[in-house]
Amino acid sequence: MSLNLQSDVSLRPYNTFGVDVRARLFAEAHDESEVREALRLALQHGVPLRVIGGGSNLLLTRNVEALVVRMASRGIRILEDDGDRVLVEAEAGEPWHPFVQWSLAQGLVGLENLSLIPGTVGAAPIQNIGAYGVELKDLFAGLTALDRQSGELRDFCLDDCSFAYRDSLFKQQPDRWLILRVRFALSRTASLLLDYGPVRQRLHEQGIEVPTPQDVSQAICAIRSEKLPDPAKLGNAGSFFKNPLIAATQAEGIRAEYPDLVSYPAADGQVKLAAGWLIERAGWKGYRDGDAGVHRLQALVLVNYGRASGEELLNLARRIQADIHERFGVSLEIEPNVF
């Protein structure tokens, strides 16, 4: 199959903010050979190669003078199965939530807390996606990536990836590694993680005392649907800011002034603050400036009410960052990739 290269393509359908910018060149890559062809064509046309998945962790602020390649490879396979531990490999273009649902349908446990996260399998390690007490690294068993510099394939193990909170080697070196396939170590008998956020409470309200992985997934889908807007109806990229990590002494200083501060213990004596609480406490929840706004139900989510530009959304984010720093002395870091 040969790459279908297009010129001057709107990226509005390919980013969940629904920002209307244009790519100089655009193509969809369905396999490794098409990825390699895209690299050759980018070099031939003298432009960078930009890779996107579901466009759910992306804020586009201007036209993209590059060859934008959307990963569209598909395929899920079981590589090993010893009756308990099951090694599963998925192609980078597989949509994340359907992949989670596939794993549950096979009787596999581990990914249920990561239900309803938008995006693709290949993008998941870049952010080290996480939700409700589980991060991708907890189930990670390896990946295969193409080295753009040498053209060689490399297999990565957990220790190679420098996973951290919403971070990885692949986020730190975006112009070198192009993820093709990701492997996960799942189980048929692993215990469920229920004590983060309102998961257990939701299950109790439903009269479920001994939940299955499917029960947990459905509860989390319901919780996320209530908290987060559907990008098909209201443009957004989910959580726009990372929860900041600060010293415990600084957290106590903030708590002295704001006793209702929402925080969680973190590693190395640090404390993780709830960015959504900071933004809401500062009065930004439900704020709107033209078509750029802060969601009325979840202050952590910036939204596009229709025709907001990426620059307008970024300017709003910067205003929020400046206000939070002035009020609390805390720096908020933007989670999506900004181009």
Q: Active-site residues: which are they? A: 166, 239, 335
* Helix runs in 144-299, H state only: 169-172, 199-205, 213-227, 248-257, 275-281
User: What is the band of 269 on the pLDDT scale with cuts at 50, 70, 90?
Assistant: confident
User: What is the band of 23 on the pLDDT scale with cuts at 50, 70, 90?
Assistant: very high
Residues 93, 173, single domain; the answer is yes
DSSP string over 113-165:
GGTT--SBTTTHHHHT-EETTEEGGGTEEEEEEEETTT--EEEE-GGGS--BT
Q: Tell me the C-alpha distance between 232 and 303, whole Å.
A: 12
Task: Say yes or no to pLDDT of 1 above 70.
Answer: no
The closest of 250, 263, 252, 256 to 325, measured between CA atoms, is: 250
Model pLDDT for residues 65-87, shown as the tens digit of each residue: 999 999 999 999 999 999 899 99
Residues 30, 105, single domain; the answer is no
User: What is the band of 212 on the pLDDT scale with cuts at 50, 70, 90?
Assistant: very high
Residue written as tokens 């730190």? 172
* Tokens (6 digits) for 241: 């800011």
Residues 89, 54, single domain; the answer is no
The closest of 160, 81, 168 to 122, measured between CA atoms, is: 168
Residue 208 lies in a domain: no
Model pLDDT for residues 152-188, shown as the tens digit of each residue: 999 999 999 999 988 999 999 989 999 999 999 999 9
Instruction: Report strand pairing: 245-247 vs 177-187.
Output: unpaired
Task: Say yes or no to pLDDT of 297 above 80.
Answer: yes
Q: What mean pLDDT is predicted for residues 79-108?
A: 97
If one counts every other C-beta atom within 10 angstroms of the C-beta of residue 97, the result is: 18
User: What is the band of 2 on the pLDDT scale with cuts at 50, 70, 90?
Assistant: confident
**Coil, helix or strand at residue 19:** coil
What CA–CA distances, in Å, run from 201 to 111, 146, 223, 271?
20, 43, 11, 24
Task: Say yes or no to pLDDT of 113 above 60.
Answer: yes
Residue 59 lies in a domain: yes
Q: Tell me the C-alpha distance between 319 and 222, whole Å.
A: 31
Residue 308 lies in a domain: yes
**Domain residue limits at 46:** 6-71
Task: Say yes or no to pLDDT of 143 above 90.
Answer: yes
Task: Say yes or no to pLDDT of 196 above 90.
Answer: no
What pLDDT, on a 0 to 100 scale, did the predictor assign at position 191?
86
* Tokens (6 digits) for 245: 């990590």
Q: State which of 20, 53, 71 marks the end of a domain.
A: 71
